[in-house]
Amino acid sequence: MLTITCAYVLRMFAILKSLLLVLPSLPGNIFTQSARLGKKVVRHSCAFGSARQTASPEMSESASGNDDRISLFDLSGHRKYLNADERRLFLAAAACFSSEIEVFCLLLHYTGCRMSEALGLRPVHLEGDENTLILQTLKQRRRGVFRTVPVPESLMNALQSRCGDDDMPIFDWHRSTAWEKVRAVFARAGVHGPQATSRGVRHGFGVAATSAGIPITLIQRWLGHSRLETTSIYLAITGPEERNYAQRLWQKNEDITVQRERAA
């Protein structure tokens, strides 16, 4: 019985040895194919990484996906939102360009919409009787999610004057083209830094709405956030009310200092 078992093991070993000698000579064996596939994956990964590094800040932010991860400051502590003065400079600079570019910038300013949402606006989305826009919320897990945002009558009239076919976008631009136009407006306005993007205009809208005392749930709906926690980041920005409280504290500290000096 032991002799038969040893013979069987020796034969199996011989078969395995033969296979190991034959496999490397096959042109399409699994080992060489796996190696080639691995090299392709590495090359594509490197190319993808390089493309992301050379992309504009606007395109990179648009590709990042989820608004739930947004922050109002970059890793160096620089603002990513427009303050009140920069918002005014942005509108003043937009007025120096063509009416099409100006209206597009006004749309971003008054609605806080994403650039892709502005480019998707069609005549059918204009509610002229109520001066509201119907915007498709693009950063949702499902399609077909819309929201309404009120706009000034002047902006509604400007948008209606540009309407053509109901099925055609009001702004027939590619996203990269729109980004270049917005960047030119910021350059003329003299606004530079991470806030000089359409995302900066959107954040500036959120900060301004919060400072104006608009309910946070309404701001959430206007901006198309799926979670209230995302909108709540605008509450962390120092607004007029918070500064008033701080000034009261500073005044109280000054009064205490004066009383101590007089007592001394």
Domain CATH code at residue 74: 1.10.443.10
41 domain-assigned: no
Residue with tokens 């590709």: 63
In a domain, 223, yes or no: yes
Distance CA 82, CA 166 (A): 33
Residue 117 counted as domain residue = yes
Domain that holds residue 229: 70-238
Q: What tokens appear for 178 in the block?
A: 């729109």
Asked if the model's pLDDT at residue 241 lies above 50, the reply is: yes
Instruction: Determine, yes or no, domain membership for 170.
Output: yes
Is residue 10 in some structural domain?
Answer: no
Total number of domains constituting the chain: 1
In this prediction, residue 47 carries a pLDDT of: 46
Residues in the chain, total: 264
- Is residue 140 a contact partner of residue 217, using CB atoms and an 8 Å limit? no
pLDDT digits (tens, 9 = 90+) for 65-113: 445 457 899 999 999 999 999 999 999 999 999 999 999 999 999 999 9
Helix residue spans in 65-140 (DSSP H): 84-94, 99-111, 115-119
Q: Two tokens at 105? A: 């910038």
56 part of a folded domain: no
- The least confident of 23-27, 84-88, 194-198, 229-233 is 23-27
Q: What is the pTM of this model?
A: 0.70
Alpha-carbon dihedral sign for residues 110, 226, 236, 117: negative
Q: How confident is the model at residue 142 (pLDDT cuts 50, 70, 90)?
A: confident
Q: Is residue 82 part of a domain?
A: yes
Report if residue 202 sits inside a domain: yes
- Contact between 164 and 123 under an 8 Å Cβ cutoff? The reply is yes
Q: Is 97 left (phi over 0), alpha (psi -120 to 50) or beta?
A: beta
C-alpha distances out from residue 50 to 46, 54, 56, 73, 179, Å: 6, 6, 12, 24, 20
Of the pLDDT bands very low, low, confident and very high (cuts 50, 70, 90), residue 20 is low
- Which amino acid makes up residue 140? Q
Is residue 149 within 8 A of residue 205, CB to CB? The reply is no
What are the φ and ψ backbone dihedral angles of 243, each rounded to 5 degrees? Answer: -65, -35
